[in-house]
Structure 1
Amino acid sequence: MIATTPTVAALKELGTALKDFGYAFTTVTPATHARVNGRPHNALARNLRDVLGWSRPCTRDVLPSGIAALMDAAGVLERDGDLWRSQVRFSTYDGELFVHSAYPTTAPDAVFFGPDTYRMADAATAHLAARDRPVRRAADIGCGTGAGAIAVAKRIPDAEVLAVDINPAALRFTEVNVALAGTAGVRPCHSDLLGGVDGDFDLIVANPPFMIDPVGRAYRDGGGPEGHDLSLAILDAAAERLTPGGSLVLFSGTGIVAGHDPLRAAAAERLKDTGLTWTYREADPDVYGEELDGEAYAHAERLAVVVLTATRT
């Protein structure tokens, strides 16, 4: 767990103040983050983006007094020797501000936000734009920061959108982010997949963990020998809970082995008797190349991120 549980109310105030400051930050992959922070001139923060985006240590005078006071109130400003460091980051997407875990995301309950978040939310909104049926009820499974739920709710403001996650830290951050975005239709719910919520859905979006992670971090480890267990469980849940005409947008990833995609093969087997029609595409054929140096992906030739869309006809 993070050392101090941030209070939701104080984080809302902090996020509002950052908006007033015109704060913006695009979050990169952990590998890029490490490279950029590893440059000698980036050892210390010089401004708010360095502190709250790049997670660099700072002297207290780098923080505007009002921001420092709000960070203290939220319990997210911690001592790092003679310096100070934020326990959270703030990132921007779709004109909104999102609070999430600081770099590096090593804690078991870390809440991740990064390029896959942008890709997943983009895939969900593109699907919404192409739909010819209304969406009255939607769910974002494993919502993390709530970015997918918020992006959906902004485009269908009259719909009920459930942001579900098993991680209490994710639900706290989602509550803050929903307030900052003003998306009143989003309701954070503690749930293991859809097991803790009732009813059917016109739209389900999900960006589950999909990596083979020897450490077993919840935000990263997809389960099973190929990291696909959670993705396949989401297919099962969608098959049971989609309304007629309802659809699933699943953003996931897979190691490609000798030209073979094991996730696609497993998904085809899982979906064949469900009555769902589906499409599958690679959103990016080559990501997280640094993982190929480790034992977990020694069998793979590349890692790809994919979008699977399934619809009940």
Structure 2
Amino acid sequence: MNTDSLLHLAMLLKATGYSFTTVSPATHARVNSRLKNAWARNATDVFGWSRPFTEGVLLPELFEAMRNAGVLETQGEGWISLVRASTLRDQLFLHSAYPTTAPDAVFFGPDTYRFANAIARHLAGDVRLRRAVDIGCGAGPGAVVVALEWPLAEVFAVDINDIALQCTAVNALLAGAERIITQHSNLLDGVDGDFDLIVANPPYLLDAQERTYRHGGGNFGEGLSLAIAGLAKTRLAPGGTLLLYTGTAIIDGTDLFLASVAPLLDNTSLEWHYQEIDPDVFGEELAEPAYEDVDRIAAVLLTARRVRS
């Protein structure tokens, strides 16, 4: 995919007034399984619902822009888009088409909206930002929300997935957040210095195929989240904050991520708060062998602030 051509495609799509709220994979599958939804009828079906389409469904300039960007693939008697476009907080974000099966897919879904809203609520408070970073940036919504609110701050968007970094670069330019710095990095290994704000929405599931975009590692997917929580002790500037939106397995009423993260943060220079955002997400995962003892998976938000000395 060509970055300049992707940006041109996104600009054309945005100019049409396109809007789409991305749902969970389970909901997406149910809606697309309806017979009337076998083929796309408009741009929302093509770029939102990832349905195949035939000639005449899209404006000619959109079709040509897809071809130039390398995101057009033949399917049956028509074509399908290799990218999806979602709207969030009045901005448009390109990311991977449904279904996100490739190891380097760039995921965007209901978690993304909750994550962005948590960042916005934090930024509405009494904060001062010099440097910020979005760890595992994906399509870049975290970095974009921060950069639009604090346009003079140095905002990094880091990921180990080069396709995610490309999407973030396009989405940042599309949003007018040109100062965002995209950088390949495993957590913060590739970025020096401390930060006034660290935000992250890492993969938190156990994936049998260990695909990068959804496999969190550890016993129940908490591995990456614990590693990011640990960075609060070493990479936050005095007064800086970590916002970690993640998921946790609940077994017999015990929150397994909370049980593991509390010892990391207690008796440190950190003040922290933990909140359950949604009690039941990705319920379909409970049918997988790795979750046979799990009652539910909850979405949670960990906020940790380094106390000024």
Query: In structure 2, what is the equivalent of residue 81 of structure 1?
Result: 76
Displacement of 1:226: 1.3
Are residue 91 (structure 1) and residue 86 (structure 2) matched? yes
What's the offset of the Cα at 1:272?
2.2
2:230 aligned residue? 236
> How far apart are the structure 2 equivalents of 1:37 and 1:133?
43
Decide whether the 8 Å contact of 2:216 with 2:223 is kept in 1. Answer: yes
Alpha-carbon distance in structure 2 between the residues aligned to 1:49 and 1:295: 36
Partner of 2:259: 265
Structure 1 position 71 matched with structure 2 position 38:
no
Q: Given the alignment, which residue of 140, 151, 162 partners 2:156?
A: 162
Determine if contact 1:8/1:172 at 8 Å carries over to the other structure.
yes
**1:88 shift after superposition:** 0.4
What's the counterpart of residue 4 of structure 2? 9
Q: Is the 8 A contact 1:133 1:245 kept in 2?
A: no
* Structure 2 residue 109 is matched with structure 1 residue 104: no
TM-align CA RMSD: 0.8
Matched, 1:293 2:307: no
Equivalent of 1:249 in 243, 248, 259: 243
Equivalent in 196, 207, 210 of residue 190 of structure 2:
196
Determine the C-alpha separation between the residues in 1 that align with 2:55 and 2:185. 39
5+ residue gaps, structure 2: none
Question: 2:48 pairs with 25, 48, 53, which one?
Answer: 53
The residue number in structure 2 matching 1:210 is 204
TM-superposed deviation, 1:238? 2.3
2-structure distance, mates of 1:292, 1:269: 27
Larger mean CA deviation between 68-77 and 296-305 belongs to 296-305
Say whether residues 1:28 and 2:34 are aligned partners.
no
d(CA) in 2 for partners of 1:229, 1:209: 9
Q: Unmatched 5+ residue regions in structure 1?
A: 1-5
Is the CA contact (8 Å cut-off) linking 2:232 and 2:306 kept in structure 1?
A: no
Corresponding position of 2:118: 123
- The 3-state SS of whatever aligns with 2:124 is helix
> Which residue matches 2:269?
275
Q: Which structure 1 residue ranges, 4+ long, deviate > 6 Å from structure 2?
A: none
Cα distance in 2, alignment partners of residues 57 and 89 from structure 1 = 12
Deviation, 1:133, is 3.5
Could you tell me which residue of structure 1 aligns to residue 129 of structure 2? 135
Identity across aligned pairs (percent)?
Answer: 57
Supply the distance in 1 between the matched residues of 2:232 and 2:188 (Cα, whole angstroms).
9
Alignment match, 2:13: 18
Structure-2 separation of matches of 1:81 and 1:204: 45
Q: What is the Cα deviation at residue 188 of structure 1?
A: 0.7
Task: Tell me the alpha carbon deviations over residues 105-135 of structure 1, each in whole angstroms, 9 at most, x when there is no partner.
Answer: 00010000011011111111111112x2311
TM-score by length of 1: 0.97
Range with greater deviation from structure 2 (193-202 or 293-302): 293-302
- Corresponding pairs, count: 307
